[in-house]
Every structure is written in C-alpha cells, then in structure tokens.
Amino acid sequence: MKIVVLDGYTMNPGDMDWDLLRQLGPCDIHDRTAAGQVVERSGEAQILLTNKTPITADSIAQLPALRYIGVLATGYNIVDTAAAAERGIIVSNIPGYSTASVAQMVFALLLEMTQQVGHHDRLVREGRWTACEDFSLCDRPLMELAGKTFGIVGCGQIGRQVAQIAKAFGMQALISTATPDKHRDWAQQHQVKLVERQTLFSRSDVVSLHCPLTPDTEKLIDAVRLETMKPGAILINTGRGQLIDEAAVATALASGQLGGFGADVLSAEPPAADNPLLGAPNSFITPHIAWASREARKRQYAMTMENIRAFIAGSPQNQVN
C-alpha cells in the first residue's frame, strides 16, 4: 500500500528512522505540508498519516485511493471524520502515548512557579549571590506544595496521573469530571475527591486543565471563573489553548488575582507576537513540547505502526470514526 506522511518532523525530527514504516510499502515522507499541498502529495495514497495538517472533506473527496487516515496524535479534530466515514475510510488516533511526559511537564511548570529556579539561577550567573552578604539569596517568595490543594479538571489518563503525582507531593487532589460515576471507584481507591466544578475552583491552590475541548469547556477559564478562584492561586494548562480566555488570564495575572500561570498550549500556535500572555507577569509558557520527550515519541511511532498493521489485517484499532 502507498503510504504518505504529511508532517512527520514533529514526531521524528531525525533521531529515529522510518525503516519500519517503509517495510509496509512505498512511502513519501514529508517534514511539513501546507494546506494547499495535501491533495497533490496524497493523490495515490491509500494510507495517509498526519499530525497537525488538516484533512478536510474537500481533500478527502479528491483522494479516491484513500482507505486509512492515521492521526499521529491523540486529538483528531484536524480530520473531517464524518466525511471519512461516508467514504468508508478508517480514521485512528494514538491515545495515551504521552501521559507520563505531559504529567511531568505539569509539575515542571508548577515547580518553576513555586521555586523560581530559572530566576534564581539568573541571579547567580549575574553575580548577585557572589556579592551577597548572606549565605542565602532569595528575592522572591517560594511556596511549599505539601498541604496545598491541587484541583484537576478532567479525569482521563493524564488527569489521573497528575492527581497521583500531586498526592506524592503531599497535596490533596480534587477532580471535576463530566462523568463522575465512571470514575468513582478509581477515585475512592486512590483517595482522590470528586467534586463539582465550582467547588474545585474555589478550594484549589493549584488548578490544572486536562479536559477535552468541547462547547462546554471552550473558554472555561474566563473573567467570571477567575474571580471564583482563591486569590493568588496558580493555573496550569497543558490541554488545549482554547480552554482559557487569554486576555482574562493576563488581566488576572496583572491584578494579582492569579498568582501564576503555566501553559504548554495557546489558542494559536505559533502565537501572535501580541498575545497578551507573552508579556503578562508570572506567566510561564513552553512551546507545545509536553508530549515531545523521546520516550513518548518512540511510543507514538510504535503505536502508529500497530494501528497500521491492525488496519491492514482487517481489524482496525483506536478507530475514532
């Protein structure tokens, strides 16, 4: 089968090879593909792999050989799954490959805000500690996590992992989920409290977002919601940029209502230079890399191969349409 990879660079920037994929059939592997190049590059493809390059209904209609679309990620909103289903085209995704890495990034952002590691490292390199009269130099407040309350919106694999890490820090973990009955046994087993959304925001010292982007959760964090949070609370978003109202979060940081904001995602990626969060105080942003550890990418590649082999064998897995 002819295989086309539209944007393979993010999964494999050169530290892995594509030999396993090439063993399945002739391959065209592109680092990146512009929207206008999709049909031209995919015309003979029976198997099409994409990470963030959109596969629209119009493109699908112009690809008569296409039988399978593999999304090289967990989120699959870049594919018109309904149009694919109408054509009998299987669409699969890769769930769970980056759970450990994303959870780790949550706490990397949190520890940067509570310990101010980067800031104090700069002071040392600037000679401030060398010139200090005392053995210790600390010019920003530090926060101990033990005894604090960590609120998690969403109870998927990443939300659960984050809850368990928070408990290892001695924090109380709260989770708000749209399907509490589904998760009640797990929560009881792991001593995590399931609470209503408003309770979570009012009680938490730290809130981390791990819910899917839906009409109900779009701009879940707006000016009204921010006012219900504890003054000085910390907000972390490694889910989707559209979960927050970026201007409202920047305003809350400037006023001190929000003590810190850490994010690995923004509403537009790459962001515009005038994104209000880029200049907001106590705002710490990484460029959508939480998923990108080499270990996670190796799992991503392995699961991609498993999905394709399952499709070829006539038993597709991780099908989303």
Three-state DSSP at 295 gives helix
The two tokens of residue 257 are 């209502």
Residues 127-143 as b/e (b if ≥16 CB within 10 A, e otherwise) read: eeeeeeeeeeeeeeeeb
Of 308, 295, 312, 245, nearest in space to 97 by CA:
295
CA dihedral sign, ordered 7, 9, 10, 16? positive
Strand order in the sheet with 193-194: 193-194, 172-176, 149-153, 206-209, 233-237, 258-263, 283-285
Whether 30 is catalytic: no
Whether 288 is catalytic: yes
Tell me, rounded to whole angstroms, the distance of Cα 8 from its chain centroid: 18
Q: Which of 240, 246, 297, 299 is catalytic?
A: 240
Q: Give 18-56 as a 3 state SS string.
A: CHHHHCCCCEEECCCCCHHHHHHHHCCCCEEEECCCCEC
The two tokens of residue 15 are 């530290």
Q: Which of 269, 294, 295, 309 is catalytic?
A: 269
Q: Which of 190, 197, 203, 288 is catalytic?
A: 288
User: Is the CB of residue 90 less than 8 Å from the CB of residue 308?
Assistant: no
Q: What are phi and psi of 317, to 5 degrees?
A: -125, 160
Name 51's Cβ contacts closer than 8 Å, sequence gap at least 6.
6, 7, 8, 10, 11, 71, 72, 73
Whether 119 is catalytic: no
Of 95, 110, 117, nearest in space to 152 by CA:
110
Catalytic sites, residue numbers: 240, 269, 288
